[in-house]
Amino acid sequence: MPYLAFASNFTWVMVIGLLGPSIPVIIEELGISYTQAGLFFTMLSLGSLFGTPLGGIASDYLNRKALFSIAALTLAIGLVGMGIPASYTAILLIILAYSFFGSPAGTVGQSIMLAMFPDRRERYISLQTSFAALGSFTAPLLVALNFTVGLSWRWAFIETGGLALLLFLFILLVPLPRAAGGMMSWKNLSRILGNPRVLFSALLIFFSVAPDLGFSYWLAEHFKTELGQPLSLSSAVVSVLLVGMITGRLATSRLLKRFTSPRLLKSGMILSLASLIVFLSVPWIPVKLLVIVLYGLGTAPVFPLLMARGTALFPDQPGTVSGVLFGSVSLGGMVFPLLLGVVASSLGIRLAYILVGIIILGLLLTLIGTQVWWDRR
């Protein structure tokens, strides 16, 4: 069963990663502006912002196999729909639909996994996010491969739709546990959704999006415009970061056997902050590339371990808590790329990266402070 959760996160994150490298060709084909193209990402984030929490809550009360299979099938149909020539408005609606109904695939998969293996929470979430990072790594490669062999951008979506269809078939074949709780109780929901520690975990995860997406989104542009590097290198640096993140998350699942979660969290943030300082300080490209890998290693454990801490608060309601925490990721995905984009456009990418460093430092100090406070209590 853990492999279904891993596969669902790989597939969903791969779906997210298809749009970015396809945008230049979509703009040319449809004759749209940058602003209109930006609405694709807004619809993607908007759908998951609402679909993920609702799907997570539903997984604690309704038939999990049905929810899981509907989400996977919706992704398959929506992605194939992207392969059919359609108008700009139709594509917007398709993206919104498969994001809203398909984004719960990762949350429902995680809730089933946590219900079955609560004692392996941290290790399995770390492995799950490794597959998610692998999805981010695979998506642009698939788009580039299709362009190389002369196929349209639509084929990458159709092929990923085939992966979602395979996921759907495996979900039908594998026996899955039923949801634990009968009728939905608003009192119980408010107890979880209003819990200060759940909200605090959601807030930390919201800010953790900045060191992740806020750093990666501007890497290619930073290398191209501010460092004067060729496009061939600039477009590859995000892959260098993802190699560090995939390696770091795989390592985290093993290091948890020897070190505590708070220690790994703080060590990761210190490494990412130190790496960012070196990245901004040294002029040598080979050193910058090495530091990007170290930055990925440091950032890697932050999200999965924060997610594990949050979901551990209500182990009998993994779907509801997972939905809330994934919702905070979607909200951060809407806020921080835009915020850091405004800073980069007006003050330069370097200052945007300094803001990322300030956020990492704030997260580190917050974790240290809360740990001291809880120890005293």
Q: Do domains 1-184 and 186-377 have the same CATH topology?
A: yes
pLDDT band, very low/low/confident/very high, at 155 (cuts 50, 70, 90): very high
Q: Give dist(CA 139, CA 163) in Å, integer.
A: 12
Does residue 193 carry a pLDDT above 90? Answer: no
Q: Which residues fall within 8 angstroms of residue 110, CB to CB, at 6 or more apart?
A: 5, 9, 125, 128, 311, 318, 322
- Annotated domain spans of the chain: 1-184, 186-377
Confidence (pTM): 0.78
Which pLDDT value is given to residue 276? 92
pLDDT band at 301 (very low <50, low <70, confident <90, very high): confident
**Yes or no: is domain 1-184 CATH 1.20.1250.20?**
yes
Output 127 or 217, whichever has higher pLDDT: 127
Taking each helix axis as running N to C, give the angle between helix 34-59 and helix 318-347, from 0 to 180 degrees, rounded to the nearest 10.
160
pLDDT in tens, 47-92: 888 888 888 888 877 788 888 889 999 999 999 998 887 788 888 8
Higher pLDDT, 313 or 169: 169
> Tens of pLDDT along 206-258?
988 888 877 777 776 677 777 777 756 666 677 788 888 888 888 888 888 88
Exposure on the CB side of residue 313, measured as CA atoms within 13 A: 23
Query: Which of the four CATH numbers 1.20.1250.20, 3.30.230.70, 2.130.10.10, 1.10.275.10 does domain 186-377 have?
Result: 1.20.1250.20
The 10s digit of each residue's pLDDT in 94-123 is 999 998 988 888 888 888 787 777 777 778
| Residue 169's pLDDT band (cuts 50, 70, 90) | very high
Per-residue confidence (pLDDT) for residue 243, from 0 to 100: 86
Q: Please list, in sequence order, all residues whose beta carbon lies within 8 angstroms of the beta carbon of residue 204, skipping any fewer than 6 positions away.
A: 306, 363, 366, 367
Give the model confidence (pLDDT) of 331-369 as tens digits.
887 788 777 777 877 777 788 888 889 999 999 998 888
Q: How confident is the model at residue 272 (pLDDT cuts 50, 70, 90)?
A: very high
Closest listed residue to residue 319, CA positions, set 176, 43, 112, 49: 112
pLDDT of residue 278: 93
Q: Give the least confident one: 149-163, 184-198, 345-359.
A: 184-198
Averaged pLDDT score across all residues of the chain: 82
Distance of CA 331 to the CA centre of its chain: 11
